[in-house]
Structure 1
Amino acid sequence: MPRAFHFFLRCRLPRFLIALLIPCAATFAAQDTNLQLSFKTITVEGAVRSFYLNLPPQHQTSHESASVVIALHGGGRTDGDELAAQTDFHSLADRDGVIMVYPNGITAQWNDGREKTARRSREVMSADDVGYLSALIDHLVSAYRADPNRIFMTGLSNGGMMTLRMGCEASGKLAAIAAVIANMPMNLIDDCRPDTPLPVLLMNGTADPLVPWQGGHVGFRAKRMGQVASTDATLRFWLQHNHCDQPPNITAFADINTRDGSSVRRLRYPCHPAPLEVVLYSIEGGGHNFPGSQTPDLPRLLGPKNMDIQGAQEIWQFFIRHGL
């Protein structure tokens, strides 16, 4: 199916018509990549939910269980296939024999725990996305030989906040999480009670105009989409949860691209017991963008996009340290 037509369907047609026009086993090839994604559905509590799946080449011949990385799209107008096309997760997954999964939110959004706003529909606010993603993990274990002890989750923006919510409410199903351009929703942080210790990576821009580093309302100008805690408060929550009482190891990355208006510092906090850790990538001067990706480059709207690091590779290395 041509990509332009696929985008037209999502933006112009009701979701039930999309389900009829796109077969469940359809294969979508993202432009400018060698990625082949299978469109799949599962039914969770009577609701049909969808996801894109990429199985590594060795999965067909191996009988061993495989690690899984689940990547959650942001809250725009596109689903998981767009995130796949904009990042390098698929090539890393194929190289390392990892199952890559890109779930789809309802109307391309996740119920990440923020309060209701004008932008977020009643359908999204009532969605049990924790239940869906938990059921999806169980489905991957039973249908695709996924290792239940090696399930990793990452997400951008709305997907990053949903990743943090999963860390709060389904930590026992996850080996590690990585949230990008996302802070803890204010409605979530005071009631967050993870069942287990959990390695956490945060990757935020200090000049993000949409999800503010210092916390507050999410959105542009008068358009508000709920409130989030600051990056410092989000970091502090996970440090306390994981009993991280040592100073961080700090790495300043080389400012390779001097034209992107930003630079990167990594603060790695060792926790107890090792190798448990919490990691913060502080994108100094960075905006609402995934570093090193092919996400839209709109500096006037989103702020600078850092190109000194490859965000997907940094997250991948973090997951490898925790059993990927």
Structure 2
Amino acid sequence: MTREYRLHAPAGYESGTPVPLVIALHPYPSTGWEMSQLIGLDEVAAREDFLVAYPDGIGGGFNALVCCGSADDVGFLAALTDRLVDTWRVDPDRVYLTGISNGGDLSFRAAVEASGTFAAIGVVSGGFIGERAAAAGYVPKQPVSVITFIGGQDRYAEQFRTGVGAWQERLRCIPVTPPPSPPAADSTLTRARCADGSDVESYVIENMGHSWPGASGGGMAAPDVGVAATELIWKFFAAHPRQR
């Protein structure tokens, strides 16, 4: 099967210098192009000098934890990473996944099933959910740090909270004390360090639904919640290269 993706390279890209890669996964139904227009990650990449890949799912979706289709999307992401490491001088220790909704669910699945490929994931309005995630022992075999954003008004909010809790319980994560200050009104932030050395950072934005916080345009944008997920995700990624 032929798979498609859009690749954004910043103006300062030089093929002789290893660079980080962020793979951004769209919701269902959507496309990589629409994802690029929603989250504003190209602008951050231009400033910070990293590549961004926007894959297209089959039929507008990815085969994640609870939806959609039967494509080997974890294999696709691993193959895409290998290709970009080989042809675009991506630093294999600085490869990251981010996604919203269906794309966020796939980020969790790939973190487990392609363990060792991705240093960290950033999940927005998505979660570690469904029968696959409920199975005992379904965790990464190598450290993968997680930053996640949950809207308190999202109809899946409780499932997402439960999923983050299960992830931390299985990886024996200990809350960081003292707890961090809330990032904005009507929101909370928790941090934890896991036994394998990975980190979990979780934002809950009570006045947000199934959206991307800080995005300025599109049906899934939440521009006025006081949290800018795109900037926070990159800051988290930059601080979490792959652990060996």
- SS of 1:105's equivalent in the other structure is coil
Residue pair 1:270, 1:278 contacting (<8 A) in 2 also? yes
Q: Pairwise mapping of residues 163-174 of structure 1 onto structure 2 (< 5 A)?
A: 163-174=107-118
- SS of 2:174's equivalent in the other structure is coil
Matched pairs, number? 239
1:53 & 1:111 partners in 2: Cα distance?
21
Letter of the 1:55 partner, please give it. A
2:169 & 2:212 partners in 1: Cα distance?
26
Q: Pairwise mapping of residues 265-304 of structure 1 onto structure 2 (< 5 A)?
A: 265-272=188-195, 276-297=198-219
Q: Say if 2:230 is the partner of 1:312.
A: yes
1:295 & 1:75 partners in 2: Cα distance?
17
Question: What is residue 251 of structure 1 aligned with on the other side?
Answer: 181
Letter of the 1:149 partner, please give it. D
Greater relative contact order (CA < 8 Å, ≥ 6 in sequence): 2
Residue pair 2:124, 2:149 contacting (<8 A) in 1 also? yes
Question: What is residue 183 of structure 1 aligned with on the other side?
Answer: 127
Q: Pairwise mapping of residues 204-223 of structure 1 onto structure 2 (< 5 A)?
A: 204-209=150-155, 212-214=156-158
Q: Say if 2:51 is the partner of 1:135.
A: no
Deviation at 1:286, TM superposition (A): 1.4
Letter of the 2:190 partner, please give it. L
The answer for unaligned runs of 5 or more in structure 1 is 1-46, 215-229, 256-262
Q: Residues 118-152 of structure 1, C-alpha deviation per residue, up to 9 Å, x if partnerless? A: xx5xxx2x211111111101111111111111100
Q: Pairwise mapping of residues 227-266 of structure 1 onto structure 2 (< 5 A)?
A: 230-247=159-176, 249-255=179-185, 263-266=186-189
Q: Say if 2:53 is the partner of 1:107.
A: no
Q: Residues 178-213 of structure 1, C-alpha deviation per residue, up to 9 Å, x if partnerless? A: 11101223122133231212111111111113xx11
Letter of the 2:174 partner, please give it. D
Q: 1:146 to 1:307 in 2, by over 3 A?
A: same
Letter of the 2:4 partner, please give it. S
Question: What is residue 321 of structure 1 aligned with on the other side?
Answer: 239
1:110 & 1:297 partners in 2: Cα distance?
19
Q: Residues 205-260 of structure 1, C-alpha deviation per residue, up to 9 Å, x if partnerless? A: 11113xx112xxxxxxxxxxxxxxx22321122213433123552321233xxxxx
Deviation at 1:109, TM superposition (A): 0.2
Letter of the 2:215 partner, please give it. S
2:52 & 2:223 partners in 1: Cα distance?
25
Q: 1:113 to 1:232 in 2, by over 3 A?
A: closer
Runs of 4+ in structure 1 over 4 Å off? none
- SS of 1:250's equivalent in the other structure is coil
Residue pair 2:24, 2:53 contacting (<8 A) in 1 also? yes
Residue pair 1:112, 1:185 contacting (<8 A) in 2 also? no
Deviation at 1:273, TM superposition (A): 5.7
Residue pair 1:152, 1:177 contacting (<8 A) in 2 also? yes
The structure whose Rg is larger is 1
Give the RMSD, CA atoms, in angstroms. 2.1
Question: What is residue 2 of structure 2 aligned with on the other side?
Answer: 48
The answer for unaligned runs of 5 or more in structure 2 is none
- SS of 2:2's equivalent in the other structure is strand
Q: 1:247 to 1:144 in 2, by over 3 A?
A: closer
Q: Say if 2:120 is the partner of 1:198.
A: no
Deviation at 1:169, TM superposition (A): 0.5
Q: 1:169 to 1:245 in 2, by over 3 A?
A: same
Q: 1:273 to 1:194 in 2, by over 3 A?
A: closer
Q: 1:136 to 1:174 in 2, by over 3 A?
A: same
